[in-house]
Structures are given as structure tokens and as C-alpha cells.
Chains A and B, each alone.
Chain A
Amino acid sequence: SQKIEQNSEALNIQEGKTATLTCNYTNYSPAYLQWYRQDPGRGPVFLLLIRENEKEKRKERLKVTFDTTLKQSLFHITASQPADSATYLCALPASNDYKLSFGAGTTVTVRA
């Protein structure tokens, strides 16, 4: 069956450090992968989309990599700030019907 796993439920880091989140998937062949941010009590907000032919994508302090051989995406937050504290979700389309499936998310807490 198709599965999306995000490395850990929670990640605590110090301000200024780099947070690295992992999204692993099985039995998918996604043409792209998306990352979202969700704050408590709010809907997810789209951050980045990376396509299968792109190895890396950046947006400000965010960097995403996509390795279709390892079936893995890494999401990096560099020079982290307390305002980056949130839950980060990866999402990919199912192979047959393209509806988006989401990982369980990783909650990042950045300590000042």
C-alpha cells in the first residue's frame, strides 16, 4: 500500500540552526512533491513544490531536495527563527488519480 512517512513527530532546535525534515514515501511514483506549513488551529499554507526532474529548490531560507531513487525529500530551514515554529507537511499525488496525500507532519519548535 502507499505510505508517506515524515521522520519524526517533533523537532526542537535552537534559533539560528538548520532544521532538516525528512519525507519518505513507498509505492508512489510522484511527478512532484509539495511542502506545506500549518500553524495550530489554521489551515495548511503552501510553501514549495519540487518536480521529479528537479534536484533542489529554494525559497528564501527554505530548501527542498527530491531524490526519486531514494524515494525521499528533505526540507531544510536555514538560520531558523522562533517564527518558523509550526508543523510541516509533505504531500504527493497518488499515481492513479492524482489526489494529494499528506504525511502526518513534523512539528518544529525553534528556541530563542
Chain B
Amino acid sequence: KAGVTQTPRYLIKTRGQQVTLSCSPISGHRSVSWYQQTPGQGLQFLFEYFSETQRNKGNFPGRFSGRQFSNSRSEMNVSTLELGDSALYLCASSLRTGGDTQYFGPGTRLTVL
């Protein structure tokens, strides 16, 4: 089975811009979670989608949003980018919702200048 894929792998944006990241889960996985990873804060949960519905949300501002499509593919959007949004954004898929074993993609490295 193909693993989780994320596009793009690298992205450079400037403050104030917006960005959309894409994630394709493992075939058959209906849950997609997004995480932000930074050296200072570690791996922080952003949100989880299951069957096109947001099931869980972390403590991030409303500038961070996401959605899931009927084929389980997911996108996350960050609007009005800030320097502190520079991070590795990881997508993970799982069979079930709610803390199930996560299968991570390679991540998107976002740099905000």
C-alpha cells in the first residue's frame, strides 16, 4: 500500500500570505490528522477529520483551518501567515478516529519570511 503523501514538500511564503497544504491518506484510512512540529514546541495537534467532519481540534487560532473530501484527502489552510508559523506540518492517517495509531507523511516544511 502506498503511504501518506503530502504536497508540496517545501514552501516559502511571506508574512500576510496564505497557504494550502495537501494530504493523501493511506487507502482505506478515513481519519486524517494534522500536526505542527517546531523545535521549541514539539509535535502539536492541529485537528482531525473523519468522514469529512472535524472530530477534534487543538489550541490553534482560527487562521488554521482544514477540510476533508469524500475520498478522504485533506487540505489545511493557514491564512495571514506569521513568522511563527514556520514549521514542519505533518499529516497522519489512521483507520479509526480518536487516538488510533498514526501513519505519518513526510511533512511540508513551511518557511515564512
Question: Residues of A with Cβ closer than 8 Å to B?
Answer: 34, 36, 41-46, 49, 89, 91-94, 97-105
Contact = CB atoms under 8 A, between A and B. Distances in A.
Contacts of B33: 99-100
A62 B4 CA distance: 25
Determine the main DSSP class of B at the interface with A: strand
A38 B99 CA distance: 18
Interface residues of B, number: 23
Contacts of B101: 34, 46, 49
Contact of A98 (B43, B88, B99, B102): B99
B48 A42 contact: no
Contacts of B35: 102
Nearest to A49: B101
A102 B33 CA distance: 13
Contacts of B97: 98
Q: Which 5 A-B pairs have the closest CB atoms?
A: A43-B104, A93-B99, A98-B98, A98-B99, A102-B43
Contacts of A102: 35, 42-43
Given A42-B106, A46-B101, A100-B99, 19 more contacts: A34-B101, A41-B88, A43-B105, A44-B43, A89-B43, A92-B99, A93-B98, A94-B99, A97-B56, A98-B56, A98-B97, A98-B98, A98-B99, A99-B56, A99-B98, A100-B102, A101-B45, A102-B35, A103-B42
Interface of B: 4, 33, 35, 42-43, 45, 48, 56, 58, 88, 90, 92, 97-99, 101-107, 109
Nearest to B109: A41
Nearest to A101: B45
B103 to A, nearest CB: 7
A100 B104 contact: no
